[in-house]
Chains A and B, each alone.
Chain A
């Protein structure tokens, strides 16, 4: 591959300055003439029949409507189904007929001001007929009809591996429900345009999914619904499913007035989605030399109160466990249960953080049992480039897990630090280093429909517009596409305009911005469309100026040939005039593959044996990204992913009491790792090219949230000679462990 001119470089995203100065206009900053405000009334009970009285709420001046289950269409949907051909069971209504979790959407209050709406929400009288709730997996396992999904994925004969093994290392662990913590709470704004179409602005991940749901719920044709992806203040998967859009659209359509449906933090914490909690038992059968013969994994997943992603997250979790280490046999049995808690949804990593949280701790404990270095153990078993998926799934592609481990070991000075870190120990502080690996995918190829469409046009002013259904969640997707297009077209990144998804403007995309598919699938589509447009440009120059394509060179938006030169704009203008054509390219793209992206993380921790607080003092993350699209953005993903992953390891948790109530409903109680607790994060990228990726690139955003957490837990286990495998490893758990050790 020739030297890249634009891809991989540290371009600054065009909205960076506005965002830094608070000038960006998010949905909550908008105001339409005659706009009403709407807020959902959320259940305070986990499982109950409800009787709702609206009178008091309606008596508040300025209140226009209070809707309940009886007012909304008697049509169920599954907010997880991102298109009409994804058919997980439909069991939710715009507003619920009964309370199935604390946070369930029971009523919608619409009024002229936020103040009126807030007051009216508190005056909606709900009489609950409480029933026994199912909270947590152990309770779900004992409840009839709580099983939502079950599947076994396997290859080889685990029993044989078990018989031949020198050691079998068993680890039971758990991961918690996690709130996404996007600074922008869920919100949507709906209006009716001059032609009577329903227009919805929403910071979402898939406009086509929202359109599908609103169409099916309100009985409107797709073509009458315009969904526009709004400027987004973060999602992390939390806005992946349709959450508030149907209620907002319903209120607007019913009242024929613009409606802004907003949530506050507490609503967002209890009444949207969370990362699925998981309990997992891992048995790994190994030879004395540390070769993995086989693994048996059983995972139970807390799916929450509605079906949503019960099947999808279980399958995602199971499949990823087959794509990182080589072995002879593996059996993975996954089950998802209904509980009376917040429904499960996408959350950065979609099953990978949970899966690797336990298996990577298990591998470290196996290394301990075999008196081996945990890196060496992993190296003995790491998948190799172009390995097949043992279950018959898509090929692993240019899987560079081994490079991630080796490069990390060297950069972290692993061997020496592992040998010497305990020399820093004092009475109070125990030090440790640990590492872990992670794997993630690149789209839906092999599981679900996977394709996208691109339209590209070059204008007479030399600018280029790109229409593709992408949704920038804040990670710089737009800029990534600009850089890819610039590379293909040999022109200024900032003269390329990439529209974000809008069902009236951008062509159909199969799955939206999820599943780590955007760089790998959409990016490659943009590359191909860019190359096609460039080809047209060259051909136009040939027709217009008689330039032979072999003699034409292109740079910075100029074509040069035999001493002459033309700007792209001139070519576009003259081509339109002379040939009665516009410079444009259009294509549908389906990726031929779905390779793995891999990572390793290396962490050093200082554990306070008195207070149980863990300080992560150093963190290195190595990512197999094929090729960085933009180094600054990639580093941003690594740092942000680490922050989420460390939060999962150390402090974040949605805690339910026995009755299903959540205590930490805002950031004063729900603790994410904040700046004072964040270690400096060092990023290294392995760039060895992924054959079908755009200029060799592949995914990183979700993967970044996988390995740091287990690396920290492994470091804690090393420091304390513990076996922690229940996330998060809180100070209380550490102290309980130490006190028990002391009494021994």
Chain B
């Protein structure tokens, strides 16, 4: 059993080379539970929370850079995130409990590739790219959509580490909503990110990603089509509802949970659109 606590990419690369099969630990909120469940008692750990490159939220002229070890709590509070990815701040605020949000990280949430991940719908809606390094210390940029497969699987190698995420700055607005079995501290039965531009109160360039209705969050073309060109505050409920029901039917035709998820998805899409309203009215943007 070894424990490494790298601070730089060089130290990380060395730790990866020296500890074959070592587990990567960021917040540990899922890992520790899984180790206990799987009855694993002998393992090596690489703690990623001291990596300078994986910390903090920065901006360049064109993009927002989010360290992979940034916690849910940091995402929720960050003014940069609230300005450019309001749905990400919202999604982070709804993950687990206060204690979990103080430790769980964006990198862990993505790399775990749970079908119920709350951040993934937002990350995919924003076409996020990730900087991934391996045991050589070299970095490659990958679209998150490419390597997250869902149901706990990614195409990342055992020694691949997500260092940061990069999102292009846009003028888009976005909302996130979820439903679990209770208001807070609940795993999503279904969640959604709606991202759109608003022109004169009209939704344009709409992206809708539903989570937990398939192995991983995915684009919902029926819903996007229905929302495209719709007036945000005067929605055609009938058209939207039909599109949502059709989308869920298309996503999970054979699951008995589809009967519940159809109205529930409609409910949370309404919630997400309500999130967008005050943003587009200039209220909460960039506070």
Contacts and interface: CB of A to CB of B under 8 A. Distances in A.
Interface of A: 115, 118-119, 121-122, 427-428, 608-613, 615, 651, 668-669, 671, 673-674, 676-677, 730-732, 735-736, 738-739
Contacts of B41: 115, 118-119, 122
Contacts of B99: none
B182 A610 contact: no
Contacts of B267: 428, 608, 610-611
A288 to B, nearest CB: 39
A641 B114 CA distance: 35
Given A118-B41, A428-B267, A611-B179, A735 B184 contact: no
Nearest to A735: B260
B268 interface: yes
A674 B181 contact: no
A126 to B, nearest CB: 14
Interface string B170-192: 00000000010111111101000
B260 A651 contact: no
Contacts of A674: 182, 184-185
Contacts of A735: 259-260, 263-264
A581 to B, nearest CB: 58
A159 to B, nearest CB: 42
Most buried by B among A427, A615, A676: A676
B230 interface: no
Contacts of A673: 182
Interface residues of B, number: 22
A118 B33 CA distance: 14
A396 to B, nearest CB: 38
Contacts of B84: none
Interface of B: 33, 39, 41, 179, 181-187, 189, 237, 257, 259-260, 263-264, 266-268, 270
Nearest to B38: A122
Contacts of B183: 613, 615, 676-677
Contacts of A739: 259, 263
B181 A428 contact: no
A599 B184 CA distance: 30
Given A118-B39, A731-B179, A731-B260, 19 more contacts: A119-B39, A119-B41, A122-B41, A610-B266, A610-B268, A611-B268, A613-B183, A651-B181, A669-B187, A671-B186, A674-B182, A674-B184, A677-B182, A730-B181, A731-B181, A732-B257, A735-B259, A735-B264, A739-B263
B185 A736 contact: no
Contacts of A668: 33, 187
A732 B258 CA distance: 10
A651 B186 CA distance: 12
Contacts of B257: 732
Contacts of A612: 260, 263-264
B197 to A, nearest CB: 26
Closest 8 pairs between A and B when the two form their complex, measured CB to CB = A610-B267, A122-B39, A676-B184, A611-B267, A119-B41, A611-B179, A676-B183, A732-B260
Contacts of B263: 609-612, 735, 738-739
A360 B249 CA distance: 39
A485 B88 CA distance: 59
A230 B170 CA distance: 61
Contacts of B39: 118-119, 121-122
